[in-house]
Chain A
Amino acid sequence: MAISQEPVDTSTPSESMEGSEILRVEDLHTSFFLPIGELQAVRGVSFTLKRGQSLGIVGESGSGKTVLARSIMGLTLAKHVEISGKAFFNGRDLLTLSRREMRSLWGTEIAMIFQDPMTSLNPMVKIGRQVIEHLRQHKNVDRREAKQIALDLLNEVRIPEAESRIDRLPHELSGGMRQRVSIASALACEPSLLFADEPTTALDVTVQHQILNLLSREQRQRNMTMVLVTHDLGVIAGRTDETLVMYAGKVVEQAPTAEIFDNTQHPYTEALMRSIPRTSQPSHTPLAAITGRPPVATHLPKGCAFSPRCPYVQPRCHEEDPSLVSIGTSEHKAACWYPVGSDANREAFERNLSDRLPQTLAVAEALDADQGSETSADVPDGELT
């Protein structure tokens, strides 16, 4: 992944972080109005991204990652939806733009890669055309030129024998190849911001790595800003600059990716760490699952949304919802009354252990089991505690 940077950023990746601000999201809320009531899918998310930076958004299924990405991008989610807040892209608030204005940004400035390459390509349209059709519409390139660009792109995303594959239909390609086609299509108009919504969840583990590496390489080479959405912390380790951990529509922890791994603050992030698949374990070993289920977004618990599942939960957590505040450095924020590693946290753990709280016992058990086995995770520069 140590591919050289664009001429603008000559040295380390950290320097690309000094670029100009490209995306600033402020207090974004998205609610669906359903017959059973209001479903708050996103509840006040804020973050900023600089040009060339990459951001990982991590959280379990249902935590609001997709809704967040689509709200920013302005892709219609449903009929009865309300979005509030701000999302500045190069200084323009995307949430105030008309559909026509958004359409002129889609594909050219902001692109998206979807989760399932089996269904996100049209089964009846040749892949070559799907890679460059928007290029032809946006930029008026002629047919021959477009074909050459499609070929170059397919080569760039490492599709072997691109020449013969350009006229194939999606079902004639494997899942990994199809996702490469989607990536090629997303890159066609050289967008400055790329959303990748679980781009590898539907793929085999080995293919996952190839696709993620391809994405990272393209992101760095093109100095593109990338938002990588995933439910697997292992996916973003070593690949994104920043990380945002979401739970029940809120950001619960936010920090540079390395910092998240080295100095985990939020109990939920810690739980996610434990569920990263490890290469040392034989495959199909059940992951240390987080006890319980995420709350239903129409019936959120009072206080901290994680409280019903948290091994450190204390009476205060049921009453007051902790807000996202800086911890240690200003770059590292978490929303928890008893952050991991603090004395208060250790005391809370001991107390819950003696109260025999189920989720606390489960964690203690997992820790004991871990002591025996090798703790080498599938994390290049992260440490698991």
Chain B
Amino acid sequence: MQKMIVGRLTRLVVTVLVVSFVTFVGVNVLPGDPVNALIPIDAQQDREFVEQIREEWGLNDPMVVRYGRWLGDAVQGDLGRSLVTGQPVTDEITHRLPITLELMAVAVGFSLLIAVPLGAFSGYREGRRSDRLVSGLAQAGLSLPVFVTGLILIYVFALRLQWFPAVGWNRLSDGLGPNLKSVALPALSLAVTEIAVYTRVLRSDMIATLKENYILSARAKGLTDRFVLFRHGLRPSLLTLVTVVGLNIGFLIGGSLVIEYLFAIPGLGKRLFSAIQQRDFMMVQAITVLITVFYVIVNTATDLVYMVVDPRIRRTN
């Protein structure tokens, strides 16, 4: 256990170093001068002024030096200041991160809530009409791009039925009701693909599990089908699903960028978009590193979930 944690931390550090450096280089070789983000257009012709600003922000130092400086500050919790607003990057992140996390957590939670019973049932009814229906729906769900799903949901539930707001965000501090209302459609947009993927993965593992001898012997004990399915069949069928949920977080991050943009949600994704457009590379750098850290954390969490699901792994650790 201890060994695992140390290993994971090392991996986290190495990954963050590599990713932050690559991002740093990438942002710097992008066409467009970051200094342009700092000064108004009419002042950009003033060579001297530009040079002064460059000096001030340390933009004239070699890239490695600048990266070293950034890293030194970062380990002390200072991610620098936004080139556009001049505000500390960390302030803005702490403000926006909870929104994105909530969106993703609700999307994954909701997806699992739907996909686990659906996948299990569909696998149990393999080849029957209900299974074919579920598989067909999953196929359809998979082929819908996130922004299309989002647009459809906005049209039906926000514009037509007016059950939910079309855009914007109410924080949890504004009350649970309004908060849930604003998370519902964006999370559902993200969830559609996830539900489709999870359902298919669980279904195929379930089909394999139900052919196992121990399922036959459980049935021969006169246990009800539901008991056999959920108490004997489910657990051994969850391992691939856990892996896929972990891996899919990556796609989900991408999806939430789109969704935040579409629903005008003031999360990190939306900020990343504007930061890239504005060459606000401090902000881009910070958000990218954050995503990396998040990804590694999710991976570690996945391994912990394995232990919860499979008691054999727990025992040997």
Contacts and interface: CB of A to CB of B under 8 A. Distances in A.
Contacts of A114: 213, 216-217, 220
Contact of A75 (B216, B227, B235, B315): B216
B220 A123 contact: no
Interface in A100-134: 103-108, 111-112, 114, 116, 119-126, 133-134
Contacts of B224: 103, 137
Most chain A CB atoms below 10 A, which of B222, B227, B232: B222
A135 to B, nearest CB: 9
B218 A122 contact: yes
A182 interface: yes
A349 to B, nearest CB: 43
Contacts of B312: 123-124, 169, 171
Contacts of A122: 214, 218, 232, 236
Contact of B222 (A119, A134, A169): A134
A138 B222 contact: yes
Contacts, number: 71
Interface string B101-123: 00000000000000000000000
Contacts of A104: 222
A112 B220 contact: yes
Interface residues of A, number: 30
A112 B217 contact: yes
B55 to A, nearest CB: 64
B240 to A, nearest CB: 15
Contacts of A189: 222
A73 B222 CA distance: 11
B214 A120 contact: yes
Most chain A CB atoms below 10 A, which of B213, B221, B310, B311: B221
A40 interface: no
Contact of B223 (A105, A111, A123, A137): A137
Contacts of A185: 221
Interface in B185-236: 212-214, 216-224, 227, 231-232, 235-236
Nearest to A185: B221
B213 A119 contact: yes
A331 interface: no
B220 A124 contact: no
A172 interface: yes
B222 A137 contact: yes
Nearest to A172: B315
Nearest to A79: B127
B232 A106 contact: no
B221 A121 contact: no
Contact of A106 (B221, B231, B310, B311): B221
B221 A134 contact: yes
Given A103-B224, A169-B315, A182 B219 contact: no
Nearest to B315: A169
B213 A116 contact: yes
A107 B232 CA distance: 16
Contact of B310 (A73, A105, A124): A124
Nearest to B227: A137
Contacts of A75: 216, 219-220
A296 to B, nearest CB: 24
A28 B308 CA distance: 47
Contacts of A120: 213-214, 216-217
Given A124-B235, A125-B232, A111 B220 contact: yes
A102 to B, nearest CB: 8
B220 A106 contact: yes
Given A123-B236, A171-B312, A172-B315, A107 B221 contact: yes
A169 B218 CA distance: 16
A63 to B, nearest CB: 20
Contact of B214 (A106, A107, A123): A123
Interface string B290-317: 0000000000000000000011100100
B197 to A, nearest CB: 24
Contacts of B315: 169, 172
A169 B216 CA distance: 18
Given A122-B236, A124-B311, A182 B227 contact: no
A167 to B, nearest CB: 10
A263 B86 CA distance: 103
Contacts of B217: 112, 114, 120-121, 182
Interface of A: 73, 75, 103-108, 111-112, 114, 116, 119-126, 133-134, 137-138, 169, 171-172, 182, 185, 189
What 3 A-B pairs have minimum CB-CB distances, sorted nearest first?
A: A107-B222, A106-B222, A134-B221
29 contacts: A75-B216, A104-B222, A106-B219, A107-B221, A107-B223, A108-B222, A112-B217, A114-B217, A119-B212, A119-B214, A120-B213, A121-B217, A122-B218, A123-B214, A123-B236, A123-B312, A124-B236, A125-B232, A126-B311, A133-B221, A133-B223, A133-B231, A134-B222, A137-B222, A138-B222, A169-B311, A172-B315, A182-B217, A189-B222
Given A119-B213, A122-B236, A133-B223, 4 more contacts: A106-B219, A111-B220, A119-B214, A122-B232
Interface of B: 212-214, 216-224, 227, 231-232, 235-236, 310-312, 315
